[in-house]
Chains A and B, each alone.
Chain A
Amino acid sequence: MSIPCRQAFSQEVLAQAKNDKNVVVLCTDSRGSVMLGDFAAELPEQFIEVGIAEQNCVGMAAGLANAGLKPFVAGPACFYSMRSAEQVKVDVAYSNSNVKVIGISGGVSYGALGTSHHSLQDIATMTAVPGLTVILPADAWQTKQMTAALTVHEGPVYVRMGRGAVPDLYGPEGESKLAPDFKIGEAIELMQGSDVAIFACGETVWHAWHAGKKLAAAGISASVVDLHTLMPLDEETILRVAAGCKAVVTVEEHSVNGGMGSLVASLLSEHNPKMIKKIALPNENIVTGSSPEVFRHYGITADNIAEQAELLLKKLG
Chain B
Amino acid sequence: MSTTNYRRIATERRKELLNMIYEAKTGHTGGALSSTDILVALHYGIMNIKPSEPKWADRDRFVLSKGHSVEGYLCILADLGFFPKAELMTFSKYGSRLIGHPTNKVPGIEICSGALGHGLPAAVGMALGAKKSGRAYKTYVLMGDGELAEGSVWEGAMAAANYELDNLTAIIDRNGLQISGSTEDVMKLEQLKAKWEAFGWQVFEADGHDIEGLISLMKSFPQTNGKPHMIIANTTKGKGVSFMENVAKWHHGVPSDEQLAQALADLDKTEVGK
Contact = CB atoms under 8 A, between A and B. Distances in A.
Contact of B152 (A24, A56, A64, A69): A56
Interface core residue of B103, B139, B155 (most chain A CB under 10 Å): B155
Contact of A69 (B115, B123, B129, B158): B129
Contact of B125 (A59, A90, A94): A59
A68 interface: yes
Nearest to B157: A56
B132 A69 contact: yes
Interface core residue of A45, A66, A71, A90 (most chain B CB under 10 Å): A66
B124 to A, nearest CB: 5
Interface in A45-87: 45, 48, 50-51, 53, 55-69, 71, 86-87
Contact of B121 (A48, A55, A69, A71): A55
Contact of A67 (B117, B130, B155): B130
A97 interface: yes
Contact of B159 (A51, A66, A69, A97): A51
B88 interface: no
Contacts of A91: 111-112, 118, 121-122
B114 interface: yes
Contact of A59 (B104, B139, B156): B156
Contacts of B122: 59-60, 62-63, 66, 91
Contacts of A63: 111, 121-129, 139
Interface core residue of B120, B121, B151 (most chain A CB under 10 Å): B121
B115 A66 contact: no
B125 A53 contact: no
B110 interface: yes
Nearest to A87: B118
A94 B159 contact: no
B61 interface: yes
A60 B130 contact: no
A28 to B, nearest CB: 10
Contact of A66 (B117, B125, B158): B125
A95 interface: yes
B12 to A, nearest CB: 30
A32 B118 CA distance: 27
A50 B114 contact: no
A57 B61 CA distance: 19
A64 B127 CA distance: 8
Interface in A169-195: none
A250 interface: no
A62 B132 CA distance: 14
Nearest to A97: B111
B121 A60 contact: yes
A60 B141 CA distance: 13
A31 to B, nearest CB: 16
A64 B155 contact: no
A95 B104 contact: yes
B135 interface: yes
B104 A24 contact: no
Nearest to A89: B115
B99 to A, nearest CB: 12
A59 B124 contact: yes
A95 B123 contact: no
B133 A56 contact: no
A61 B159 CA distance: 13
A56 B155 contact: yes
B237 to A, nearest CB: 25
A92 B170 CA distance: 21
A68 B159 contact: no
A96 interface: yes
A67 B159 contact: no
A58 B125 CA distance: 9
B113 interface: yes
Contacts of B136: none
Nearest to B61: A66
Interface core residue of B57, B104, B135 (most chain A CB under 10 Å): B104
Contacts of A60: 121-122, 124-125, 128, 156, 159
Given A69-B129, A87-B121, A56 B159 contact: yes
27 contacts: A24-B132, A48-B128, A51-B158, A53-B152, A53-B159, A55-B117, A55-B151, A56-B124, A56-B155, A56-B156, A56-B159, A59-B125, A60-B122, A61-B125, A62-B111, A63-B122, A63-B139, A66-B61, A67-B128, A67-B129, A67-B130, A68-B57, A86-B115, A86-B118, A90-B118, A94-B112, A95-B112
Interface of B: 57, 61, 103-104, 110-115, 117-118, 120-130, 132-133, 135, 139, 151-152, 155-156, 158-159, 162
Given A91-B111, A94-B112, A95-B104, 8 more contacts: A24-B132, A56-B121, A56-B156, A63-B123, A63-B126, A66-B61, A66-B129, A86-B115
Pick the 9 closest A-B CB pairs, nearest first: A63-B125, A67-B129, A59-B121, A56-B155, A60-B125, A63-B126, A53-B155, A55-B152, A63-B122
